[in-house]
Amino acid sequence: MNFPKGFFANGLHCGIKKNGKKDLSIFYSEKPSVAAGVFTKNIFKAAPVIISQKNIKNKIHCIVANSGCANACTGERGIGDVKKICELTADKLNVKPENILVASTGVIGQYLPMEKIENGIRKLCLYIPPTNRPKSAVEGIMTTDTFPKVVSSTFYLLPSTRCTIWACAKGSGMIEPNLATMLSFILTDAQITKEALSRALKIATEKSFNCLTVDGDTSTNDTVFVLANGAAKNKLISDGKNFQLFCDKLTAVCIELTKMLASDGEGATKLIAINVRDAKNICDAKKIAKTVANSPLVKTAIFGNDANWGRIVAAIGRSEVMVDSKKVDVSFSNLCVFKKGCPVSFSEKIARKIILQKVVSININLNSGKEYATVYTCDFSDGYIKVNASYRT
C-alpha cells in the first residue's frame, strides 16, 4: 500500500488499554502541512476536538491520537491535558504546540492517564523519523474495530505528477453521520491550497462519512483530519481539472473507508447499502435512506435473512418526508417486492439468497424526481448487544 512522501507514522501500547493492545499513534509530516478537518456536531465536544478546532487554522506537523479513553466530558482538566500533549509533542519534534492536532477515542468521562501518554509520546517522537509503521499507527486508534481500515490511492495530477492519498479510519460504535462520524486521518503529498483542501474534504465527507450510520449515535469525538504536505511537488492545486481529479480521488478513498466502517459496525455480519432514487431532492433521499438505515427492525430482519419489506415501507412512512405512498417501489437488489404502493408476489427463496450475501442493496424508488442518495449501514445482531452491554466494564 502506497504511503505519501514526507509523512511518517507509528503507534505503540502506552498503557491506556488494559488488554496490552496499541493505544497511542502519531502521524508526522516533516514539512508543515496544509490542513482541513470536520468535527462532531455533538454539543458535548471532547477536549481534543475543542483544541484541534483551534489549531487546524495553522500549518500542521503532527497528529497525536489515542484510543481507550475519549477525554470527553472532562471539563477544564481535560482541556489542560490536551494542551500538555501538544506542548510535549511540539517540544520533542521541535515545532510549536499550535502545529499539533489531537484526537481521542474510547470511554467518555474518564481523564487521560497522562504519565503513560507522556512516556508514550517521548518514545514515539524519539524514532520518528526515520521510523515509519503506518500499520502500527492505525492499530493504535482501534477500539471495537475487528480490522484496521486503510485505503490508498496513487494517481497522476496534470501534466504528470505522481501523487498519493492515504487514509485510515476507526469505527465502529456510536456512529451516525452528523458531519464527521468517527476518527479518520487522511495524508496526501499533493500540493494544494488550504481553501481547496477544505472544499474537497467537505464534498468528500458529504458523499461518504455523512452517509454512514451504524447505530444512530453521534459521538463526542468524531473527527476527520486531512494533511497535505506538498511533497509531490505538483503545480499548486486551487481549482480546475486538477482540483476535480483530486476531489474525485479523495471522495473515492472516503467512500471505501465508509464501506469498511459500515461492514465492521459493532456486531455486523453484513454491509447494507440503502439507495433512494428519483426523489425530489437529495435532502429527502438522504432522510429516507437514514430512517431506513437506523430502523432496528429493518436491521434485525436483514440479520435474520428475512425479506420483511413491510418494515422498510413503515420506516419510509415515518421519515417525515412527504412521499406519495402510491408511487413507491422497493427492491432487494433487483428483486422487486413492492410496486406503486402495493405488494408484489415474489420468490422468498430468491429473496433469501439475495439477503444471505455479505453486501445487501435495498433499492427504494420514489418516482417523484431525479435526485438520489446512498446510505451505508450494517445489520443488527446479538453481537452488537454483547459488545455494548459490556464495553466499559
Is 42 a residue that touches a copy of itself (CB under 8 A)? yes
Q: Which one among 144, 294, 368, 377 touches a copy of itself, defined by CB under 8 A?
A: 294
Q: How many residues bind a copy of itself (CB under 8 A)?
A: 63
216 binds a copy of itself (CB under 8 A): yes
Binder of a copy of itself out of 79, 252, 297, 354 (CB under 8 A) = 297
* H helix or E strand, kind and range, residue 299: helix 296-303
Instruction: Find the distance separating the first CA and the last CA of the chain, reported in whole Å.
Output: 37
Does 376 participate in binding a copy of itself (rule CB under 8 A)?
A: no
Min. distance of Cβ 151 from a copy of itself in angstroms? Answer: 27
Sequence-ordered list of residues with C-beta below 8 angstroms from that of 303, at least 6 positions apart, any chain: 269, 270, 379, 380, 381
Chain positions 328 to 357 lying near a copy of itself, rule: CB under 8 A, are 338, 341-343
- ∠ CA 81-87-93, nearest 5°, is 135
- Residue 234 beta carbon to a copy of itself: minimum distance, rounded to whole angstroms: 39
Exposed / middle / buried, residue 162 (Cβ in 10 Å: 0-12, 13-18, 19+)? middle
Three-class SS state of 12: strand
Out of 53, 308, 333, 361, the residue judged to bind a copy of itself by CB under 8 A: 308
Answer for which of 219, 258, 363, 377 binds a copy of itself (CB under 8 A) is 219
* DSSP letters spanning 197-262: HHHHHHHHHHHTGGGB-SSSPPPSS-EEEEEE--TT-PPPBSSHHHHHHHHHHHHHHHHHHHHHHH
Strand partners, 346: none
Q: Which residues of 258-291 are buried (b: 16+ CB within 10 A; e: fewer)?
A: bbbbbbbbbbbebbbbbbbbbbeeeebbbbbbbb
The correct pick among 118, 206, 217, 248 for binding a copy of itself (CB under 8 A) is 217
For the CB of residue 228, give the shortest distance to a copy of itself in the complex, in Å. Answer: 30
Q: What does the per-residue mask of binding to a copy of itself show for 75-104, with x meaning CB under 8 A?
A: x-----------------------------
Q: Which is nearer to a copy of itself, 225 or 384 (CB)?
A: 384
Q: Decide if residue 18 touches a copy of itself (CB under 8 A).
A: no
Q: Are strands 271-279 and 359-365 parallel, antiparallel or unpaired?
A: parallel
218 binds a copy of itself (CB under 8 A): yes
SS3 23: coil
43/126 with CB nearer a copy of itself: 43
CA distance 303 to 350: 16
Which among 231, 306, 324, 229 is positioned nearest to 33, based on CA atoms? 229
Q: Which of 313, 335, 362, 364 binds a copy of itself (CB under 8 A)?
A: 313
User: How far apart are CB 330 and a copy of itself at their closest, in Å?
Assistant: 10
Query: For a copy of itself, which residue of 303, 331, 364, 378 counts as binding (CB under 8 A)?
Result: 303
Q: Give the one residue of 318, 349, 358, 370 binding a copy of itself; rule: CB under 8 A.
A: 318
* 126 lies in the site for a copy of itself, by CB under 8 A: no
The 160-189 contact track toward a copy of itself, x by CB under 8 A, reads: -------------xx-x-x-----------
309 is a site residue for a copy of itself (CB under 8 A): yes
Residue 302's nearest CA partner among 228, 214, 379 is: 379
Distance CA 118, CA 89 (A): 9
Give the active site residues: 181
Task: Please report which helix (H) or strand (E) contains residue 10, including its range.
Answer: strand 7-12
Q: Smallest distance from the beta carbon of 282 to a copy of itself, in angstroms?
A: 20
Would you state the torsion angle of the CA atoms of residues 223, 208, 57, 186, taken in this order, to the nearest 10 degrees? 80
Cell numbers at residue 264, please? 465492521
Q: Between β-strands 24-39 and 223-228, what pairing exists: parallel, antiparallel or unpaired?
A: antiparallel
Grid-cell match 489515542, residue found: 66
Per-residue contact string for residues 249-268; x = within reach of a copy of itself by CB under 8 A: --------------------
Among 33, 104, 234, 381, binds a copy of itself (CB under 8 A): 381
Q: Of these, 10, 144, 191, 220, which contacts a copy of itself (CB under 8 A)?
A: 220
Residues that bind a copy of itself (CB under 8 A): 41-45, 70, 72-75, 107-111, 173-174, 176, 178, 215-220, 294-297, 300-301, 303-304, 306, 308-311, 313-318, 322-323, 325, 338, 341-343, 380-382, 384-386, 388-393
